[in-house]
Amino acid sequence: MKRIDRILEYIAEHTRKLAEEHLLYDGGITAAEIAAHQNMLRNNVSKELSDLLRADHIIKIKGRPVKFLHKQTIEDIFRIHLKEKQIEVGSLDEILRPGEQVDPFHSLIGFKDSMRNQVEQGKAAILYPPRGLHTLIVGQTGVGKTLFAKLMYNYGKHMKRFSEDSPFIVFNCADYYNNPQLLISHIFGHVKGAFTGADSEKKGLVEKADGGILFLDEIHRLPPEGQEMIFYFMDTHTYNKLGESERNRSANVLLVAATTEDPGSSMLKTFIRRIPITINIPPLQERTPAEQLQILKHLLESEALRVNKPIKVESEVVKALIGSVTYGNIGQLKSNIQLVCAKGFLNSIRENRDEIILDFKLLPGNIREGLFNLGKNRREIEEFGAIASQLYITPEGSHATEEEDVLEPPFNLYKLIEDKISLLKDEGLDDSYINRFITTDVNIHIKSFYNRFYNLKGSRERILKIVDNEVLEFAEEVKLLVEEELDRKCSERFVYAFSLHLSAFLKRIREKKYGGKPVYDPVNQNDEEYRVALTIKDMIEARFGIDVPGAEITYVAILLKSVEEERQGNVGIIVAAHGNSTASSIVGVVDSLLGSSNICAVDMPLDVSPREILEIIIDKVKSIDSGRGVLMLVDMGSLLSFEATIMERAGIKVKTIDMVSTPLTLEAVRKASILDMELEDIYRSLKDFRGYNNMEASVNAILDNKVIVTVCSSGKGAAIKVKEFVEKIVYDLTEKKMTVIPAKIKELDKVVKELQTKQSVLAVIGVKRPSDRGVPFIPLEQLIDASGEELLRELLLHNELPVAQTNESVVIKDLCEDSLKEFLTYLNPHKILGTLMRFVQELERELQTDFEYAMKVQIAIHTAHALERMVIHDGLVYRGETETLDSHIMNAVNRACGIFASGINLTLSDDEKYYICEMLGDVYKTAPL
């Protein structure tokens, strides 16, 4: 067969395979695809195509790239006769419906096949006089409900039902499902003073959607009172804002709602009756094989456009990708395609190729299994075998729609931060505290996505459905770095959160959508997390061969700040206020910002007796207490009298603060959930709280009014050294500077007395106690052995200063690091210090003892030297009798030494371990078991 005949036959075969709507919308085959499939030179293919067009055998679809269809096949499919010769058009619609604008629904794959009835329903809903019909779209996650709603909107503009500038407003009801009042405020707006923090009138979504469509996603999460307000609006087209008593506002809005649930079981029947049209979107598995292949090809075209490279896909990969979809429909298919394309893209960079090749070996295991899933259905495999051939997708002219209903990853740091800023600013919070809440919010969402989507047994397999294995392995390396550098034990939640974030980052880079600057400046560049983020930036650049923008360091630093070990049993918080919904409103705002689960509201209608309220509060206290007590935030001082009765009857520690407000509640939740503070500490720190704008000033005022005196024999030299030491301890504990004044022994009382006329002496630290017994005294030897540090911590807390929670001694770490800096040559003292401290703690746990301060320092320094000897292969040789060493200690040392292998990739020799056992022998003999 001649080359020109092979090309014509291939175009005819390709044209027959395409569904009718695909021919109308984006049909055809390119010269590059023909050359790739037929193993021909592209120049030769282009020459033959020109000859075939002149001979009137093919139709040329102009665009980028140019595509071709078989003319006789088109005539057979559409039952027409094309009289024109050498046809060159922008699309088939120009031939079939000359002068008509293209129906937006023609872009929907399956619009004349499996989606025919749904399209007819959607058109009827838009065109039905006089205002259209409110519509409910039902379907599984990822089937394309949002896309279908947007096509209805575009069809409305196409048919002049809506104006070109009419709005299409999207709202996800799940965002505020647990706070009906805030949700209703968002949909209908509120007036000034409607609830605490409502300082001005606000437009609702209904008002913004006037003249267009309001799309309510996950409408099953709308509470009953919200459904009632919505169906009243559907009946009358009138509404009222939150805080108004009369419905004197009107809007012309077509409501389109979507749900993944059975409407009959999840929504009010009165609400369902008011929605005349229900459109069911079928899952991907129920679409025809030809449509599934079209969807796959469309998604691949989007990726080709993003990476600006052709994508060559083996036929087995085509089948595996389609078969890999189990629960997420088109959204999951898109995620799987992006995962595979990302890997192929990186391979093309490494191998310096101009195209991305997706072969079966490249696929992760869970996607490979898709081929066998497809094979379980004989009819299905036969149908796919007939149409699924190798694909060659080029970026030129590929269509990427922004309206696709994509299954978003369960944790998206960019979206999380960008979406939250405006809400926080609306609440009147200043920038410094916005930073704290962003950190809190990220932490809450990390926990939320993990608990919702993963379990300990199958978590890795499930995350691999969303991110590439290489990304996951890289995240595990980052976890080890973070644990070593920040001396912080990270849970597996961090690995999965960082994997999802890195995957989103790589996607933004590929799509050239990365913003130039962060939304705000959320971290201090002197923070430890920022320093580690810089290291991670270098690791990403080295591993993935890309340039990481400076703004990304900010996002990584936020993630590092947010991830903490999961805490159990926080202080419970109850907000109690008079009125029908005052307390609920405050808790709703807090919950929407922090997502805390250790807080609840008690609304106190004025017609309910105090005795009834007391019983309700006692029940709430019992239910919310986790063993650490309950903080009550109340609106009136009279409720303070409940405190003693509640403690007596519930047997639970309770503290009460009046003048409750949203900022006060936010700060209480932050201290309980994030700082993990005790009830007394939270109570003391909030007693005089008057809002965020004054808090920093009040802390500084406390510090300005406090002074510490250090005393040594001369008042110089050693006293100054102690002064510097104390300043560092206070700064490490509070992140604030405090005045520390050195004094001579002889002048101590005089100095203290003079200072007390102007300031408060927080403590005297040194070798002599002052005569004034009211001034706390910390002996120098106590400060050195770390018990004095704990006393200093208590003094700071007692003076209502926020103090960092840590189980480690600042003194021990500082002195160990100073010693190691002097003696270590090859190891970085700062980097290995956290690992050494964990080693000491693990030994204490294994041996069920608490080492004295001096012993902790001795073990840490000796082990650091042993690790350095391992680096230079010059380990000690043990000369003693190994039989005399305690086997229990030996086992403990062996287990604890595993920290070095996992943390810094070093292993101690048996001889070095013997010396550590010998060192511990005497201590263990006297330790309590």
Residue 168: pLDDT band with limits 50, 70, 90: very high
Q: Are 892 and 847 in contact (CB under 8 A)?
A: yes
Per-residue CA distances from 523 to 424, 490, 532 (Å): 17, 20, 13
Per-residue pLDDT tens digits for 356-398: 899 888 887 778 888 777 655 555 656 666 566 778 887 764 5
What pLDDT was estimated at residue 167?
92
Per-residue pLDDT tens digits for 584-602: 888 877 776 665 568 899 9
Indicate the length of the chain as a whole number: 929
What pLDDT was estimated at residue 592?
61
What pLDDT was estimated at residue 927?
44
- CA Rg, the chain, in Å? 35
Question: Which two tokens mark 125?
Answer: 């809903």
Concatenating the DSSP letter of every residue in 53-74 gives HHTT-EEEE-SSS-EEEEHHHH
509: number of CA atoms within 13 Å, CB side? Answer: 19
Averaged pLDDT, 222-244:
83
Averaged pLDDT, 566-580:
78
On the question of pLDDT at 160 being above 60, the answer is yes
What pLDDT was estimated at residue 458?
46
What pLDDT was estimated at residue 22?
66
- Residue 259, classed as helix, strand or coil, is strand
In angstroms, rounded to a whole number, what is the distance separating the alpha carbons of residues 392 and 301?
Answer: 10
In angstroms, rounded to a whole number, what is the distance separating the alpha carbons of residues 335 and 337?
Answer: 5
152: number of CA atoms within 13 Å, CB side? Answer: 34
In angstroms, rounded to a whole number, what is the distance separating the alpha carbons of residues 640 and 630?
Answer: 14
- Provide the residue type at 242 as one letter: L
- State whether the Cα torsion 823-826-830-836 is positive or negative: negative
Sole residue written with tokens 């086997």: 887
What pLDDT was estimated at residue 423?
44
Per-residue pLDDT tens digits for 264-279: 777 888 788 888 899 9
What pLDDT was estimated at residue 145?
92
Q: Are 264 and 272 in contact (CB under 8 A)?
A: yes
Concatenating the DSSP letter of every residue in 437-499 gives HHHHHHHHHHHHHHHHH--TTTHHHHHTTTS-HHHHHHHHHHHHHHHHHH--PPPHHHHHHHH
What pLDDT was estimated at residue 150?
93
In sequence order, what E strands does 625-682 have? Answer: 630-634, 654-657
What pLDDT was estimated at residue 406?
35
Torsion of CA 189, 194, 195, 201, to 10 degrees: 50
Residue 518: pLDDT band with limits 50, 70, 90: very low
Residue 802: pLDDT band with limits 50, 70, 90: very low
On the question of pLDDT at 165 being above 50, the answer is yes
- Residue 765, classed as helix, strand or coil, is strand
Of 491, 463, 494, which Cα lies nearest the Cα of 558? 494
Cα 590 → chain centroid: 19
In angstroms, rounded to a whole number, what is the distance separating the alpha carbons of residues 301 and 396?
Answer: 9
On the question of pLDDT at 841 being above 80, the answer is yes
Per-residue pLDDT tens digits for 849-882: 877 665 777 788 788 888 888 887 878 888 778 8
Average pLDDT over the chain reads 77
What pLDDT was estimated at residue 565?
47
Per-residue CA distances from 239 to 191, 212, 232, 235, 248 (Å): 13, 16, 8, 10, 7
Residue 282: pLDDT band with limits 50, 70, 90: very high
312: number of CA atoms within 13 Å, CB side? Answer: 13
Whether the bond into 130 is cis, omega within 30 of 0: yes
Q: 508: burial class by Cβ within 10 Å (0-12, 13-18, 19+)? A: middle
Of 619, 629, 634, 623, which Cα lies nearest the Cα of 570? 629
Averaged pLDDT, 191-203:
78
